[in-house]
Amino acid sequence: MKKVFVAFLTLLAILVLKSDLGQGFNCDDAKQKISPCLSYLIGEGGNAPSIPCCNGINEMKKSTPTKEDRFAACECLKNSTSTVPGIKDDLVASLPKQCGLEIGFTISKEINCQSIP
């Protein structure tokens, strides 16, 4: 019985540590979170981004606590904005500010992601 209890506590500790460490930035998750921004970014969503869009940007920001995460996010967003037709560069660049957020870099097709802090 004691061995089962020790094994259970070990497994529980591993699960708790794994959940605390997080998984790092995930591009697919980020694209899904900011998908409500697409209509705004192509100029069909009004004068300001929607609340779901800004919530997605905020969630993406929370998933980039390290420089490596911000680099991954930069590369993800740079590649994504380059492949979606009709996205307006000025709206993409101003999106975090329009949501009242600072993400640590300007979203752009031209950004050098190596230079982000």
DSSP string, 45-81: S-SS--HHHHHHHHHHHHT--SHHHHHHHHHHHHHHH
| 105 band by pLDDT with thresholds 50, 70 and 90 | confident
| 16 band by pLDDT with thresholds 50, 70 and 90 | very low
Whichever domain contains 66, its CATH number is: 1.10.110.10
**Given this model, what pLDDT does residue 23 score?**
67
Q: Could you list the residue range(s) of the whole structural domain that residue 80 is in?
A: 24-115
33 is written with which tokens? 């979170």
Q: pTM of the entire structure?
A: 0.74
The answer, yes or no, to whether residue 56 has pLDDT greater than 70, is yes
Indicate whether 1 belongs to any domain: no
| Per-residue exposure over 93-104, b if at least 16 CB sit within 10 Å of its own CB, e if not | bebbebbeeebe
Indicate whether 63 belongs to any domain: yes
Kindly report which listed range (8-17, 29-38, 50-59, 90-99) carries the lowest average pLDDT score.
8-17
Indicate whether 2 belongs to any domain: no
**Given this model, what pLDDT does residue 22 score?**
53
Instruction: Please tell me the chain's helix, strand, coil percentages from 3-state DSSP, rounded to the nearest 5.
Output: 65, 0, 35
| 20 band by pLDDT with thresholds 50, 70 and 90 | very low
Work out how many domains the chain is built from and give that number: 1
Indicate whether 9 belongs to any domain: no
